[in-house]
Every structure is written in C-alpha cells, then in structure tokens.
A = this chain, B = another copy of it.
Amino acid sequence: MPEFDIIRRYFQEKTHRNDIVRIGIGDDAAVLNIQTDTNLVVAVDTLVAGVHFPLNTTPHDIGFKALAVNLSDLAAMGATPCWMTLALTLPQADELWLSEFSKGLFVLADKFHVALVGGDTTQGPLTISIQVGGVVTKDKALLRSGAKPGDVILVTGMLGDAARGLQLLQQQDSDIPDEYLAQLNRPSPRIAAGQQLLDVATACIDISDGLYSDLSHITTASGVGAIIELEQLPLSPTLRDDAITQSEKYRLALGGGDDYELCFTVSESQLAATQTRLADIEVPCAVIGCITDGNSVMLHSSEGSEITTDTLGYQHFT
C-alpha cells in the first residue's frame, strides 16, 4: 500500500478534530489557531523498539504508550493538550500492525481531544516519535524551578508497578499481574491533575526516569535539596503483596521509571487545598517528603535505609 494511502486510511480519516486545526494532515505543514491569552507548550518523546518497549509489545499498546508518555510531559506543565504530529519509522507497511497501532493511538487522543495534524512515515527500524502541542494560561505553566525549602513533596498514583512488570517480562515470567502490565503498557497521563496544580504547585515534573532522578531535576532547577521518606512511598496493593524484598520494592519505586505520575511541590499552607483539589477529581496523591535547603536528594527510613542510590534513575548511553 502506498505511503499516502496508509496515511489516509489509518491516520487522516481517524483523527479527532478540534477547533484549533485550520489545516491538518495533507499539506506541507499544519496551520493552527492558538488562543491569544495562552502560551504554546510543546514536547517530544521517542520510543525505540527493544529499548523503550519489549519487542513483543502489541501495536495497540505501542500506539497508546507513544502518546501517553508525551501527554505526561504536558501534564507536568499543567497544559491542555491540543494537537500532535507523528514521525513513524517502520520496517514495512503491515496493515494489521498499522490498524492496531492507530487504534491504540486514537483511544488516548480522542479521550484528550488531541488532533493528529501532521506526520512523516518512513521505512527503517521501528521508531515512534510523537510531538504534542498544548496550551496553558499565559505565564502560568508549572516549571521545575520553583520549589522552596519547607515545601511538601507529593506524587500522584502508585510507583514501581511498571518497572516490576518490565522486570518480570524480562525474566520471561508467564504469570504477570495485570496491574503491572497496565501501568507498563497503558499509563494514564495526569492531565487533569496537572491542571488542578496550576496556581498551587511551586514545581512539577513527570516521573518517567524514576522518582529519585526526576525529583533531582526539581532540586537542581530550584537550587534546593530534598528528603524522601521511604515508608511514605505509595505502593500498589499488588506490589505490597509481591514476594520481593521491601528494599527491592523501594528501589523499583525510586528508580524503576516508566511511572508517568506527577511529582510536585506545594507550600505547607497550600497542602490541604491541593489534596482536596486532587481528591475532587479522584486522583490519589501521597506526601512523600519535603524540600530542604540542602543540595541533594536524601532518602530517610525510620528503620534505617538499605537502598543505595547508585543504580537509581535511568540514563541512556551509560
């Protein structure tokens, strides 16, 4: 099937349409109307087969996750997503694969009213690069740089399930709990939570590389330190009941990555109001520590920590 037919059948005809799109797929570039009282917010994330997802991941899950990881970046800015472009490199034009991939992509795109406005399909090793654009009220975007000593640190959701799922997949375990696989393959970007944090959070980041590493970005950008209370890390019932050691559970929660939850800071005076806002939209959140006037992220356990920080976080090329 020629490239243009692929684009039309699986992408152009299926995309959500919204008010900002003046010209979408089908010209040299997309033309968009951005509201005047907003800032444009853009992010890009790439998934490489075998690196960011196991080779046997379903195309539906790949499509879903490729967008989810990008929306998570917009969530961390407090932005409302509007549009995306898709750079899709794939070995061959497999119709079944494309059909399933586009279904997974548009399940999430439709949920958040995101229009696919352009893209490029090329032949090569499977690589998916999505760029998302959104808007946020002018000068209100949540940044990493505003945390202050005394601020409380919170995270949404539960940590470590995705990393545990990946670990079990790599061990070729045949009986992996659905909760782990759902977090690994179909993470829910915290768009609504990010929007609720506008005007209250002093700093915010999404947890993609692991809590320890991502919180370190907040402390570095803000020129502060932090203490994480290990016992307060939110673990799912499934991970709590898992046969691995408590220390390993903390390691997954701190350094596993792929959580796509938000880590954010608020002043103590805003804590109760923030918790109420998130409870109102049914997003769980947990206080996990506080910002200090130090310059590093410390771990604290009432039982004495067994965690070393050497292998926490994830970096490419190291």
Contact = CB atoms under 8 A, between A and B. Distances in A.
A77 B44 contact: no
- What are the 5 closest A-B residue pairs judged by CB atoms, nearest first? A29-B43, A48-B124, A28-B76, A87-B129, A93-B317
A304 interface: no
A22 interface: yes
Interface of A: 1-4, 6, 22-23, 26-34, 36, 39-52, 73-74, 76-77, 79, 83, 85-87, 89, 92-93, 117-125, 127, 129, 131, 133-134, 136, 138-139, 141, 143-145, 204-206, 221, 315-318
A46 B89 contact: yes
A118 B42 contact: yes
Stoichiometry (number of copies):
2
Given A3-B317, A51-B124, A129-B87, A31 B23 contact: no
A123 B73 contact: no
Contacts of A133: 40, 42
A129 B22 contact: no
Contact of A27 (B48, B92, B134, B143): B143
A22 B135 CA distance: 13
B40 A85 contact: no
**Of residues A22, A46, A145, which shows the largest number of chain B Cβ atoms within 10 Å of its Cβ?**
A46
A23 B316 contact: no
A87 to B, nearest CB: 4
A44 B27 CA distance: 12
Contacts of A29: 41-43, 73-74, 76-77, 79, 134
Contacts of A43: 28-30, 85, 118
Contacts of A3: 315-318
A89 B127 contact: yes
A27 B127 contact: no
**Of residues A26, A40, A46, A141, which shows the largest number of chain B Cβ atoms within 10 Å of its Cβ?**
A40
B42 A120 contact: no
A168 B36 CA distance: 51
A131 B274 CA distance: 36
A92 B316 CA distance: 9
B6 A87 contact: no
Contact of A124 (B28, B92, B127): B127
